[in-house]
Structures are given as structure tokens and as C-alpha cells.
Amino acid sequence: MSNVRVRFAPSPTGSLHIGGARTALFNWLFARHHQGKFIIRIDDTDLERSTIESAQEIISALKWLGLDWDEGPEVGGPYGPYFQSERLKEYEKAAHHLLARGLAYYCYCTPEELQKRRQEALAAGRAPRYDGRCRHLSREERIKLEREGRKPVIRFRIPEKGTTVVNDLIRGDVSFDHEILDDFIIIKSNGIPTYNFACVIDDIKMKITHILRAEEHLSNTPRQILIYQALEEPLPAFAHLPMILAPDRSKLSKRHGATSVEEFRDQGYLPEALLNYLALLGWSPEGEQEILSLSEMVRQFSLERVAKTAAIYDIKKLTWINGHYLNEADLDRVTKLAIPFLQKRKLVPEEISEELYHYIKEVVGLVRTRVKTLEEVAEAAEYFFTDDFSYDEKGVQKHFQQPGAAEILKAAKECLEKLDSFDLESVEKAYRELSAAIGVKTGEIIHPTRLALSGRTMGPGLFEMMVLLGKEKTIQRLSRAIDFISSREN
């Protein structure tokens, strides 16, 4: 029995980013490895930017990935609610506790004033810190400011001297001098707590034992530690995960292509592939095996093998891993996953009959070995569902514009027409015999035939393709190619 309790606490201001997904994954792996609890909490204290749609989107992305949680939205739990916006009383209580003990105070500076001072400080080359001017306001001064109509915020009083050390499980001890910390806001003028405060209160209330989050939070940590101390609460362990960067080493953003879990899903990536790839960004398994199932990752996961270095994400490797899983996965599952992609291209109807399903399944089985995403499956499968395709121009030059090309196709067509059964063996046998009979290499029949049937120079094995397409379609497409060649010649 383990008492490990970790949480993933996204703010619902957008979709689930792959960085966030990686953080969620590491927390999940850590919890499962230690047989602890994985908790989801929605940090929605930013009233302007938080949306319920975003929260739902993040939750559904997590579900799609298969990262299940023991406590949180939808499942509840003993330490709820799991939306910060529903826990306002808790923060208020804690803030007043600090206020009463002189560890926090009201500040009446307006955002405009603060902004101005910040800019002045920056321009003068000074650190843009809060100057502490409301630190020692008398009762009279406060009343006066309030009469001016100012709504105060509550600030936390940073101890003047000393340093706070963050004992990071990944980075070791990191110390921060209190001189660089300023009295930060814990409750905004609208009564809502800020992140640094709310998350500490919740982590305490939810009995979180380990905080695994992205490195961008490292410099917030001393402030949070000071709050734990002011509240006389034990500290959780901290571990700051390396960032995930775009190929140009900048922060990942839309201009770098897909960044959200949802987008990867829509481009035809499989959840297990994304998870496997994400696990490898910042963590490494002990052996040389990089293709790992979720349970294998759980077994092996350890913070000791998490890197300190920011990682640049590489879509090529993700795609390679996806290709692997695409081929390993159960064919029925892949078929079902591929259908929406075919529908998007209007290759199959909304309603799929059983007969059509079986055809699709065969097509998917044939093309998936040579592509890496579901999107590519649909692309590669196109000509199995429509006659409306054109011939690859290079292919035409290479295979149709050779002397005798039309004759070869004509001979092929006639030879296929005579076939009683149109299965793999008979079709292949017919072609081999034909090539011997007319004295050309098999390839000289195969290549133009492939182009005639698919419009492409590459694809699945020709005989499989012919059989799947069926005798009628095969002959029809050969005729079309023969006509095409003669129209070009004239």
C-alpha cells in the first residue's frame, strides 16, 4: 500500500498541449508505478480565460490517451470539489488566517499603478518587483484608500532575510534569495486566488505528496514553499520536468504545426504511439527497447531516469512510432479508426454496410504496412473507392509511353478476361505465363498495370490489388488506360 498522491492540474484555457500531456503521463506513470493515486484538478481561477469547453476538451483528450484518474472531474473523490472555482471558500479562509497572523496584508495599488512602476523599473534596469509600499499601512491610511474606491488585493509577506531552497528530485537543491522574491498577490481584488496560492491550498487539502510539473514552475516554487511554511504544513516533494521545445528551440506554438493532443488524433496518430513517444521525451528506459507498452512504462518508470535537458520534439520519430503501432494493432480496430478518415475524403458513405466494412478492412490491411498514420491510410486507399483518379505523370512517361505499352496492356486484359477464377494464384500465374509467352519481363507488364489500376507507380503488391478490386474493375481500368495511351499517341 502506498500513499503516493500526485495530480495533474491543467488550466482550462485551451486544448491539451503535448507538453501538458507529457506532464500528465509522467504523473500517471509515477502514480501507477507506486500504486498511488492520480488526481485531476481543474485550475480555473482565471475567470476571463477559463472555459468549460476547454475543461471538457482536456478531459476528453486525457480519456482518449487512456490516462485514467482516481479522483477528479466526473469521478469525484474524498477531497473535492476538483474545480478551483468551486473551492473559493477554502482560499478565503486560508488567506484570512495569514492576514490575522500578519503574514499577509492588503494592498491598494491599482493594476495601472503597478504596471507603470514595473515599466519604470525595467527602463531603469532594475528588477520589476513590487516595492512593498502597502506593507505597513495604518488603519487610517487603509480607510482613506478604501474611500477612494480602491478594491484591495491580499499580498503574501515574504520574510525579509534568508533563502529558500527547493529540494528538487530531478535537479537537486536550488536556492532562491528572498531579496529577489517580492510580496506576491494571493487573492485578487475580485476575491479570486492566484495560482501560486490556490494550488498550494489545494495540494495541502488534497494531500498531494509529489508535485511533478514543467520546469517553467521552478521559479514559482520558493513562493509556494513559503506559503506552506507560513501555514505550518509539511512540504510535498517537487520534481520539475524538462520543457518540450519546438524544432527551432522556441516554445511550442501553433506555427510549429500540431501541438495539441486533439490535432494529433485528427491527423491519424494512435494514442499508444503518442504516449510512447512522449514517454521518451525526457525519460529513458533502462534497456534498449524503445517501443514500450503502457504497462511496461509503468513497470520501469522512475524519476531518476528523467532528464534535466529540454527536449525538442521530433515529428518524424513520433510518426515512425505511429507506423509501428498502426501495423501491430488489431486490424478491426484500425479499420474502425480509419473509417472517419475515409469519410472525410468522401470515399465511403456515412452508413457502412457489413459488406463494405469487410472490403474496407481488406483495403486497410493491404495499405497500412506502407504508411504511418490513419490519414495516410486514407490517402493510400483512395483508388480502391473511386474510379476518379488521374495517372501519375512520371509514371505515364515511364510505363505508358514505352513502345508497345498499349499492346502489352491489351494482351494483359485479354488474358485476364479469359480467367474463370480471379484469385491470387490464378492472376499471378496468368501474368507470369503471359510474360513468358510474349517475351517481355514480368515487370514490364506489372508496372503499367499498376499505373492503370491505381494511377500510381507505387502501392501494394499488384496481384493483391487486382484481386481486391475484382475482375470487372480491373478490366475496366485496363481498358481506360489503353484508351488513354492511344489518345495520347494521336
Catalytic residues: 254
Phi and psi for 232 in degrees, rounded to 5? 55, 45
| 215 contacts RNA (rule: CB under 7 A) | yes
Closest separation in Å from C-beta 282 to RNA: 4
CB-wise, 75 or 122, nearer to RNA?
122
Binding mask 455-474 for RNA (x = CB under 7 A): --xxxxxxxx----------
| 320 contacts RNA (rule: CB under 7 A) | yes
Q: Which of 260, 162, 169, 280 is nearest to 215 (CA)?
A: 169
In SS3 terms, 373-427 reads as CHHHHHHHHHHHCCCCCCCCHHHHHHHHCCCCHHHHHHHHHHHHHCCCCCCHHHH
Q: Which of 78, 102, 125, 149 binds RNA (CB under 7 A)?
A: 125
Classify the C-alpha dihedral 466-468-474-477 as positive or negative: negative
Classify the C-alpha dihedral 20-26-28-31 as positive or negative: negative
* Residues 1/44, Cβ–Cβ less than 8 Å: no
* Residues 292/279, Cβ–Cβ less than 8 Å: yes
Q: Which of 13, 267, 402, 476 binds RNA (CB under 7 A)?
A: 13
Q: Which of 64, 169, 195, 263 binds RNA (CB under 7 A)?
A: 195
Cα–Cα dist 29/7, whole Å: 11
CB-wise, 317 or 488, nearer to RNA?
317
Closest separation in Å from C-beta 350 to RNA: 30
CB-wise, 69 or 283, nearer to RNA?
283
| 264 contacts RNA (rule: CB under 7 A) | no
By CB under 7 A, which span of 23-31, 139-147, 173-181, 409-417 interacts with RNA? 173-181
| 5 contacts RNA (rule: CB under 7 A) | no
Closest separation in Å from C-beta 450 to RNA: 6
78, three cell numbers: 474524498
| 46 contacts RNA (rule: CB under 7 A) | yes
Q: Which of 206, 199, 200 is nearest to 78 (CA)?
A: 206
Q: Which amino acid is at 116?
A: K
Q: Which of 25, 450, 453, 475 binds RNA (CB under 7 A)?
A: 450
Closest separation in Å from C-beta 354 to RNA: 29
Window 367-386: residues binding RNA (CB under 7 A): 369-371
What lies within 8 Å, CB to CB, of 242 at 6+ separation is 215, 282, 306, 307, 308, 309, 310, 311
Q: Which of 167, 189, 343, 426 binds RNA (CB under 7 A)?
A: 189
Closest separation in Å from C-beta 2 to RNA: 23
What are the helix (H) ranges across 210-260? Answer: 221-230
| 444 contacts RNA (rule: CB under 7 A) | no
Window 399-418: residues binding RNA (CB under 7 A): none
Q: What is the end-to-end Cα distance of the chain in Å, rounded? A: 82
Binding mask 73-102 for RNA (x = CB under 7 A): ------------------------------
